[in-house]
Amino acid sequence: MPDPVAIDPQKVTEEIYEYQRPTRRQSIWQIVNSIVPYVALWFAAVELMDVSYWLVLPVTILAAGFLVRIFIIFHDCGHGSFFRSKKANDFWGVVTGILTFTPYYYWRASHAKHHATSSNLDQRGHGDVWMMTVGEYMQATRGKRLQYRLYRNPLVMFLLGPLLMLLVSHRMVRRDAKKAERRSVHITNLAVAAIAVSVSLLIGWKAYLIIQSSVLLIAFSAGVWLFYVQHQFEDVYWARGDEWDFVTASLEGGSFYDLPIILRWFTGSIGYHHIHHLNSRIPNYNLARCQKKIDGLESTKAIGFWKSLKSLSYRLWDEEQGKLIGFGEARRRYQSAA
């Protein structure tokens, strides 16, 4: 298990408080520079449909980038960090939720559980990536192992997973969902359907399906990758409930994904995920400044894009070594211990 983070929890909590105050001007500008280009690219894609789909494709890729940025606004609204006003956060959360096909109140409740239980081995299963320990995997049935391997397969994780999220999990209501969460799902579904029908009547249902499905699939695949890599790296922190520590879970259970500046802009600086988990009330546009200004945070180990690809090989949590390992290493360790 990694050593505790070498910072004063009380001090960093006090210092970080300064950055959780959103600025209305910056928030409004981010809405404008995210939604307006997204809508404009949609119009451009429609115009290009009559020319060639190969011209539409790069436009949909760019539009997907803006949709990821819109999702970050949605995400911040869900944390109550984008505006000081709760009403403003909820209003724009619902609007951006419709644009991203994600029910606002329903998602917000699930995501809150993720923040409360992140990196806790005894409270897995709340909005996180399914992860088994080496011992659990080796003792599982053959069917369970196959299920886990399929789940962890990149094609399933980053292609089928986003499709299931869009078509199933975000369209249906959990049995234990509260009234506001249920209503959120139904309202989002109705709004999405109304927009789909209206746009289809204007440009044709084939054009709508091609453009919308392309943008959503690219954006959601990128989003799943971001979430995956920010909690799936070799020296990530996991601990049992009695040993679990919030500050360590935040700073070592979430990565600093050091992306190129253009990708950092499109992803709303969500790569500063360790800071986001430490204080989810910090708006995305303050995360980078927080990293630079607060002592101890600037020394956080960064994961670059190329290094992040290695995270695909980390599949199981080894409690003895305190790190993620691959299936091959897990099998060798288990056989040598037998």
CB 1, CB 235: distance < 8 Å: no
Q: 317: closest CA among 305, 306, 326?
A: 326
| Closest listed residue to residue 72, CA positions, set 81, 61, 84, 63 | 81
Counting other chains too, the contacts that 294-297 makes at CB distance below 8 Å and 24 or more residues apart are 294/12, 294/15, 294/16, 295/7, 295/15, 296/5, 296/6, 296/7, 296/12, 297/7, 297/12, 297/251
CA distances, 291 to each of 73, 158, 231, 296, 297 (Å): 20, 29, 18, 9, 5
Domain coordinates of the chain in residue numbers?
Answer: 9-337
CB distance 245 to 280 below 8 Å: no
pLDDT surpassing 70 at residue 98: yes
- The pLDDT tens digits for 233-291 are 888 999 998 899 998 898 889 889 999 999 999 999 999 999 999 999 999 999 999 98
- Are 102 and 111 contacting, i.e. CB atoms less than 8 angstroms apart? no
Nearest C-alpha neighbor of 271 from the set 255, 291, 292, 250: 255
**How is residue 53 annotated by DSSP?**
H
pLDDT at 134 over 90: yes
Give the confidence band of 166 by pLDDT, cuts at 50, 70, 90.
Answer: very high
The residues, any chain, with a CB within 8 Å of residue 41's CB and separated by 6 or more, are 59, 60, 62, 63, 66
Residues 6+ apart with CB under 8 A from 4: 245, 247, 248
pLDDT tens column, 197-234:
999 999 999 999 999 999 999 999 999 999 999 999 88
